[in-house]
Amino acid sequence: MILISGTLMQTSGNYRDVLGMRVTAFGWEDALQVLDSGLRPGCKQRIVNFLNANNANIAYGNAGYREALAASDMLLPDGIGMDIAAKAIAGEAFPANLNGTDFIPALLLHIDRPLRVALIGGSAAAVEQAAINFKKLAPWHEFRAISDGYFGEEGSERVKQDLAAFAPDFTLVAMGSPLQELWIKSNIGPEHGRLVMGVGALFDFVSGQVRRAPQWVRDLRFEWVFRLLVEPGRLWHRYIVGNPLFIYRVFRYRLTHDRVETSAAE
């Protein structure tokens, strides 16, 4: 990685190809430092999203959503599916699993100068409690719950006005995929934060409304199994159908990618 005048310049070695999407391949400390540097005065706004097996599947059949992900300044790898894809396609796993549930709290702790942090998404109770719990974690930052995630199209202008009035440094949007990435692409402007991240179910976990897997389960990379057991009605299709479909698409892409490379070489 190279920082020039506050702008992140990435060489091809900083990426892994996942189904044609460029996913940033940083170690944990590198990712923290790069995002911290981008929050300093004078840096341009950056939109950062996460890619996991589920939203990669959504992007596969949704061109508009794929464009929203591609428009991100950075895509970070989330979950074991990304390592499976990287090994199959590029022959090398990602240096770190930068899932938002672990990475965002670590980033807030890493940045020791005060920031204004805006929260949008989740239920009203979840976003309010997440702001309170984040404040307990990193009391030198100011956290504000701007809105829950149920404001609808008619409420977007109000949310954007409230967000701009707060003038955040860092904005977290937790509306689930594909809605959060599409909303960010269509609505977020420079006045809405120097760093804007789509963070999925983060507020549910931070607020305590949804239990996380025990640490040993996370260490084994089986948190998705725990989530499936806790919420089978909501998540069975994502994991039971979606995971095998993602793996099938990865290996089909690998075969196609090899043929394209061979053809180009000829």
pLDDT at 65 over 50: yes
Under 8 Å CB-to-CB from 42, ≥6 apart: which residues? 6
CA dist., res. 148 & res. 175, Å (int)? 9
pLDDT value at residue 260: 41
% of the chain surpassing 90 pLDDT? 75
pLDDT value at residue 257: 75
pLDDT at 263 over 60: no
Q: What would the pLDDT profile of 221-236 be if each residue is shown by its tens digit?
A: 888 888 888 888 888 8
CA dist., res. 155 & res. 183, Å (int)? 12
pTM value > 0.85: yes
Q: DSSP 3-state assignment of 263?
A: helix
**Best-predicted range by mean pLDDT (33-47, 220-234, 251-265):** 33-47
Secondary structure element (H or E) that encloses residue 47, with its range: strand 46-51
Q: What would the pLDDT profile of 135-194 be if each residue is shown by its tens digit?
A: 999 999 999 999 999 998 889 999 999 999 999 999 999 999 999 999 999 999 999 999
CA dist., res. 21 & res. 245, Å (int)? 17
pLDDT value at residue 220: 83
258: pLDDT confidence band, cut at 50, 70 and 90?
Answer: low
Q: What does DSSP assign to residue 192?
A: G
40: pLDDT confidence band, cut at 50, 70 and 90?
Answer: confident
pLDDT value at residue 223: 87
Q: At what angle do helices 242-265 and 53-60 cross, to 10 degrees?
A: 60
pLDDT value at residue 29: 95
pLDDT value at residue 1: 39
Which whole number is the average pLDDT over 204-208?
95
Long-range CB contacts for residues 91-97, cutoff 8 Å, separation at least 24: 92/16, 94/16, 94/23, 94/25, 95/25, 95/26, 95/27, 95/28, 95/30, 96/26, 96/27, 96/28, 96/31, 97/221
pLDDT value at residue 248: 96
pLDDT at 2 over 60: no
Please report the DSSP string for 103-139 in residue order.
Answer: HHHHHHHH--S--EEEEEES-HHHHHHHHHHHHHH-T
pLDDT at 77 over 70: yes
Q: What would the pLDDT profile of 83-117 be if each residue is shown by its tens digit?
A: 999 999 988 999 999 999 999 999 999 999 999 99
Cα torsion through 66, 68, 73, 74, rounded to 10? -50
pLDDT at 6 over 50: no
Contact 200, 180 (CB under 8 A): yes
Taking all residues of the chain, what is their mean pLDDT, rounded to a whole number?
90
Q: Phi and psi for 96 in degrees, rounded to 5?
A: -155, 150
CA dist., res. 255 & res. 263, Å (int)? 12
Please report the DSSP string for 154-182 in residue order.
Answer: GGHHHHHHHHHHH--SEEEEES-TTHHHH
256: pLDDT confidence band, cut at 50, 70 and 90?
Answer: confident
% of the chain surpassing 70 pLDDT? 92
